[in-house]
Chains A and B, each alone.
Chain A
């Protein structure tokens, strides 16, 4: 059976972004769901599939008044929402459902109604007794060991690492929705406090409240129903994983999961790095764009630091990267993947705050649970 052509017909972020002290995570998802559906020319009555991470999709479906015939609660960290899109595409292709709402809402900063960390691990996991108990349990110290080896083995400098933040701040400098305002220099980044060496404060993501929603359906159904805006086509998708324990990663200087998920997405789309006009790389911390530029084949090993420092990803550069400012400037609720996809879709629709002209194909590289999970999506605004 030939898989169906899958499209995104609706996309919205919550109206507020940053500090939202009066909305729970379910409220945030619902707030984003309605404008996403409206933008797709649909109502809640059209929805027969629901996904979300952390909180149950069944809670969410009932809140919205929907009785889905398909749902997915895959919760593997920040790239969960990219994986939901891939799973939704497969489900729609298999005839399990027709119109899926991919939802995210997270009160990462205000922590309204939150029970605890979504990263809590049970005593029977490998992470808890063999890693987390000894203090290695959060992004600052789960990322530091691999990145120290990355810097040493690839010859990447601390200035080049800081240039990732400087480049992204140039994209978001004037964006009123960006949590960190203005533009910063490499010197600004390096003079911010050290959180966990080699990471300075400005190389760590912001912590915010917010949400987003996507409407995923088949091209056939979108064309039959008509859509207010041209659909965005999903050309390729991949997901992958690596070891749950930092010391069991096969190679700290490269992400096995990035390599596998991107290979799957490129193969499905029948495209390569040279075909990508616009790039989003989930930047929980500043090093991740350097890893992905290399692991996805945009540059050779050891070349990513110089590539970014020389301005190739800045406004006007040949490879626009993280044009919303990314997790380190724009927003990061704890799980950033939804916002990564939103910016890719805005750019392909021509609706971004800092719009790049003439884009046709965008790639979103997600990461989850530090280096444990990854997903890649390739979108386009033209027919495949």
Chain B
């Protein structure tokens, strides 16, 4: 007798990663772009601001 298949592990979305996983559900890769440097980055993050002295803004696109 083969053992019953175990449930496939799936990610548990957080408010930060939800838009990314929503994209995968409709076949889109949604990644973020830094508002100051224009660089794209992944995985999803909040408050990511590399190597720039501008400190007023706290957010990324």
Contacts and interface: CB of A to CB of B under 8 A. Distances in A.
Do A and B pair up? The answer is yes
Given A23-B16, A113-B14, A30 B51 contact: no
Interface stretch (A38-46, A317-325, A335-343): A38-46
A112 interface: yes
Nearest to A29: B47
Contacts of B46: 23, 27, 30-31
B53 A113 contact: no
A65 B51 CA distance: 8
Interface string A18-50: 000111101100110111011000011100000
Contacts of A24: 14-16
Interface in A86-128: 112-113
A38 B58 CA distance: 11
Given A21-B15, A23-B15, A63 B55 contact: no
Contacts, number: 52
Contacts of A21: 15
**Chain B contact surface mostly:** loop
Contact of A27 (B12, B47, B49): B47
Nearest to B52: A43
B21 interface: no
B45 interface: yes
B39 to A, nearest CB: 10
B50 interface: yes
A309 interface: no
Interface in A297-351: none
Contacts of A271: none
A113 B55 contact: no
Contacts of B45: 26-27, 30, 63
Nearest to A24: B14
A274 B56 CA distance: 42
Nearest to B57: A34
Interface of B: 12, 14-16, 45-53, 55, 58
Closest 8 CB pairs of A and B: A38-B55, A65-B50, A30-B47, A113-B14, A22-B15, A27-B46, A45-B51, A31-B47
